[in-house]
Chains A and B, each alone.
Chain A
Amino acid sequence: MGSVYRARDLHFPNVVKLVAVKEMINMAPDPLVRQTIVQNFEREANLLATLNHPSIPRIYDYLSLENRSYLILEFIHGKDLETVIQDSNGFIPEDQVISWAVQLCDVLSYLHGHKPDPIIFRDMKPSNVMINHNGDVVLVDFGIAKAFQVGQKGTMIGTEGYSPPEQYRGEANQFADIYSLGATLHHTLTRRDPRMEPPFSFAERPIRRINSNVSTELETVINTALQYNPSERFPNITAMKDALIGVARKTGMLSKITSALPTGAGSIKPLWSFKCEDEIRSTPILYQGSLFIGCYDNNLYSLNAADGQFQWKYAAEGGIVTRPALYDNNIYFGSEDKRLHVISARTGKVVWTYYTEGKVRSSPRVAEGHVFFGSDDNDLHAVNVNSGRAVWKFATDAPVHSTPLVVNELVYVGSESGAFYAIDFRGTLKWRFMAKRAITSSPALKGQSIFFGALDSMLYCVDMKNGWAIWKYRLGKGSVSSPAVSDDYVFIGAADGFIYCVDINTSKEIWRFKTDNQVSSSPAIYKDSLYCGSVDGYLYCLEYRTGRLRWKFESKGAITGSPLVFDDIVYIGSTDHHVYALFA
């Protein structure tokens, strides 16, 4: 601990010669330790006295008196960089920062090249950089005061913020100075004080996200300096200076920026494709080597999953947007002809049909001997699979497009009014949750939480037992996509064109991936990939933990249905009338 005084050198009585006097108080209680501190101080002062560089203040003298030591050095007219940052309105221009940075590289290079031993500054930060009256930088506070700081006891708050990770293990070499210079420049350009942030979190605050005036080239230089791993930073300060000069010239010296290009579109060839007579907006299912998919041409198709050969089709009297369900060798699906159709998976012959009062766009769910589905007649229907008769109907106040989820003897479903219901097997309401707009999305379950999207631009997480909201995550626009869950992540598409990945425990965004149009399709997870269609016509395959694009496949129309992945093959329908099978 100590102070710096502005003092006048009275050796020169006729002129005003100002000097800076840095006072350090020796607080060590043990006399031996105190003596060591003084010796170290004097050794360093002697060392500094031998330095000669325009960016290093000159040392005139030093002395120790009782428990205080003094260093008398050149007085710098100017302000330290921290004050400069604080006093400036807005961001300091990039070329100004680069010019200071280059000077700082020069002085560090001088220190690192010191013989016989290199000098490591160890404490590069804005408050130790003076900007003198000429606008040039001067490094002050050569860590001499360090020895005087007696370790604090008890729980402390805060940390330096500018020091690299390895410095906390007592390692300080030229790479530490490179890191700290990077941290100083980051602070200068972003005005975000790293002492107020978690240590080593610069990567979480990309410079250009805070200050978009900064060039990508300069950001790259600073990011390189700020690598956790010393070997990934610049090999020496001169290399950093060269890079900075390169930025200044904008000559593109930094061409090493690697951009991992994904496999281009077009190189993905489908295994097979099958053409229907109208748009496909539904999702296929697979059973015993056959693929079943509904189409807007009113047919449900049965195709050979291996080669896409047509097997049979069953004609309903309205378009089919629902995903079929399978139970006991029969296929269940709803149609806009207001009916639930049940047909044999083998022959395609009708087993029974069930009439509702509205179009059926909710996909059926079979559980416990009953089939549950919603209809535009505002009811959720529970129908016995053997008799084909309604067991009960649960009246909501709007059409039900969402697909019910059945678990632990409760049926969960959303409605177009924004209500979300939990209904028991007797058809009585257990609890209800209200979103602000329609819930077309179908619920997904993980642990004790239920996830669904809504047109109010929210992804909701509610407690399956009692319907209390645990969190909500704001999407860019509304969503009709149904969430998929894997590990601790929930994935959902939205009308803003993004596919989102959100942590289910913390509701924090993990990544988002931009497509070029609405994402109405629901993501499917298979192995370590996520598959999802977009209205931009593509089926995307992303690495689900990072959101990195693996490949994309272009169809000739919007993809609003959802992919099915089985045995390393993805099946997807498109509004270009085709069903495609692709290698996953």
Chain B
Amino acid sequence: MADFFRKLFKKEQPAPSQPPFVDSVTTQPLSEQQISAIMSGSVPRYEMKQLIASAGQSVGKQRDHNEDSLLAITSTISGSGESIPFGLYIVADGMGGHQFGEVASNAAVRIIAGHILKKFHSFLYNLPTQILQEPLQEVMEESIRDAHRYVQREAPGSGTTVTAALVLGQQVTIAHVGDSRAYALYTDGRIDTITRDHSLVKRLEELGHLSKDEAVNFPHRNVLIRALGQGESLEADIFTIPFPSPGYLLICSDGLWGVVNDQEVYRAVSEAPNLPGACQTLIEAANIAGGPDNISVIIAQMIG
């Protein structure tokens, strides 16, 4: 675009030595808020698209142990020609008595990440001899299936939510079970919940049996209808969408979204100086709101 205008106005371009009418025009000064908004909105320009990410966790104020697990890996696959941003981000929220919850979430994160990274091993850490034959969605599906079988076998009775995002280039492939969430936050203020909760309350809402308001006060809000480790066969939601750009990909457990509303999340992310700061602010906000559950959050951004 800039190039285009430059081309278009090439002849009229004033010489930089003579800036015209600098002080003769009065303009409305920008407020502090506008300035900071502009500052925070202006991400550094890079020649290539690059992926950055940050994560944060807290046990919350009312639980004595952490049943959430998370993983965030950010890298670049250097190829002939151009480099492809690569990112793997997983949040899992375990449940089930006898501390099996953390076993489930932990195992799920390790097995899913292990399975996916094995497929990408030669692209990230070695010299690939041939291209990856399997479609990304199948890689995700298998990793979920592996984790599901493991949790069923090793931590029976427990289960875990999993929201895993694999970023490759400008697209993100998501595998999702349960009620952790992935959001797309766009810099123009749009907030999209990318994932659909596998919860009873959501199901009833979708079927039109609960209104939005009834859903908020529904007594069984915490009942999941699908969880990794539960049921004989598990069908995860798997889909691929463009990486939110300009904007952020945010993944979190219900310890965050259950107590901090979307607008607050958006404000915290857009006003923070950087991604680690944004994660910190969100965790503080959840704890100030009572911190009833473990809190996990990952934020990723495509810059350049």
Contact = CB atoms under 8 A, between A and B. Distances in A.
The answer on A and B forming one complex is yes
Interface of A: 151, 154-159, 165-166, 168-169, 196-200, 228, 430, 433-434, 447-449, 460-461, 463, 465-472, 503, 505-507
Given A151-B219, A466-B169, A470-B171, A198 B136 contact: no
A507 B136 CA distance: 11
A466 B79 contact: yes
Contacts of A471: 135-138, 240
Given A157-B159, A198-B225, A505-B240, A448 B137 contact: no
Given A199-B203, A449-B171, 15 more contacts: A155-B95, A155-B254, A156-B222, A156-B224, A158-B224, A165-B209, A168-B200, A198-B226, A200-B207, A466-B84, A469-B133, A470-B136, A470-B137, A470-B173, A503-B239
Contacts of A157: 95-96, 159, 223-224, 227, 230
Contacts of A467: 131
Contacts of B210: 169
Interface string B120-152: 000000000001111111100000000000000
B242 A463 contact: no
Contacts of B198: 198
B135 A469 contact: yes
A307 to B, nearest CB: 45
Given A433-B131, A468-B136, A470-B137, A463 B222 contact: no
B204 A165 contact: yes
B240 A168 contact: no
A571 to B, nearest CB: 35
B135 A449 contact: no
Contacts of B203: 198-200
B237 interface: yes
B231 interface: yes
Contacts of A469: 132-136
Given A159-B223, A168-B200, A196-B232, A448 B207 contact: no
A505 B239 contact: yes
Contacts of A463: 168-171
A468 B241 CA distance: 14
Contacts of B136: 468-471
B81 interface: yes
B220 interface: yes
A169 B238 CA distance: 31
A395 B240 CA distance: 32
Contact of A158 (B135, B223, B237): B223
Contacts of B209: 165-166, 168-169, 228
Interface in B201-250: 203-204, 207, 209-210, 214, 219-220, 222-227, 230-232, 237-242
Given A169-B210, A449-B171, A196 B231 contact: yes
Contacts of B204: 165, 168-169
B95 A154 contact: yes
A461 B171 CA distance: 12
A168 B209 CA distance: 9
Given A157-B95, A470-B137, A465 B169 contact: yes
A470 B139 CA distance: 10
19 contacts: A151-B219, A154-B222, A155-B224, A156-B95, A156-B223, A159-B225, A196-B232, A199-B225, A448-B171, A448-B242, A461-B240, A465-B169, A467-B131, A468-B168, A469-B132, A470-B135, A470-B136, A471-B137, A506-B237
Contact of B132 (A198, A447, A460, A468): A468
A118 B274 CA distance: 63
A197 B79 CA distance: 44
Interface of B: 79, 81-82, 84, 93, 95-96, 131-138, 159, 168-171, 173, 198, 200, 203-204, 207, 209-210, 214, 219-220, 222-227, 230-232, 237-242, 254
Contact of A449 (B131, B219, B230, B240): B240
Nearest to B157: A157
Contacts of B207: 165, 200, 228
Given A168-B220, A468-B168, A158 B84 contact: no
Given A196-B231, A449-B240, A465 B170 contact: yes
Nearest to B132: A468
Contacts of B227: 157
A489 to B, nearest CB: 13
Contact of A430 (B81, B93, B242): B81
A133 to B, nearest CB: 32
Contacts of A448: 169-171, 242
Contacts of B82: 466
Contacts of A156: 95, 220, 222-224
Contacts of A228: 207, 209
A505 B242 CA distance: 10
B168 A155 contact: no
A505 B214 CA distance: 31
Contacts of B232: 196
Nearest to A430: B81
A196 B235 CA distance: 11
Contacts of A151: 219
A159 to B, nearest CB: 5
B100 to A, nearest CB: 11
B240 A158 contact: no
Contacts of B242: 447-448
B200 A159 contact: yes
Contact of B200 (A199, A447, A460, A470): A199
A228 B209 CA distance: 9
B219 to A, nearest CB: 7
A196 B226 CA distance: 9
A158 B230 contact: yes
A151 B241 CA distance: 39
A449 B171 CA distance: 9
B41 to A, nearest CB: 24
A434 B130 CA distance: 11
Contacts of A159: 200, 223, 225
Contacts of B254: 155
A341 B231 CA distance: 62
Q: Give the 7 A-B CB pairs with smallest separation, nearest first.
A: A505-B239, A469-B135, A471-B137, A506-B239, A165-B209, A155-B95, A155-B222
A468 B231 contact: no
A157 B226 CA distance: 8
Contacts of A461: 135, 240
Contacts of A199: 200, 203, 225
B201 to A, nearest CB: 9
Nearest to A196: B231
A467 B169 CA distance: 10
Contacts of B137: 470-471, 507
A433 B203 CA distance: 40
Contacts of A169: 204, 209-210, 214
Nearest to B224: A157
B248 to A, nearest CB: 18
A430 B79 CA distance: 11
Contacts of A165: 204, 207, 209
Contacts of A447: 241-242
A147 to B, nearest CB: 16
A200 B204 CA distance: 9
Contacts of A507: 137, 238-239
Given A154-B95, A168-B200, A468 B223 contact: no
A155 B94 CA distance: 9
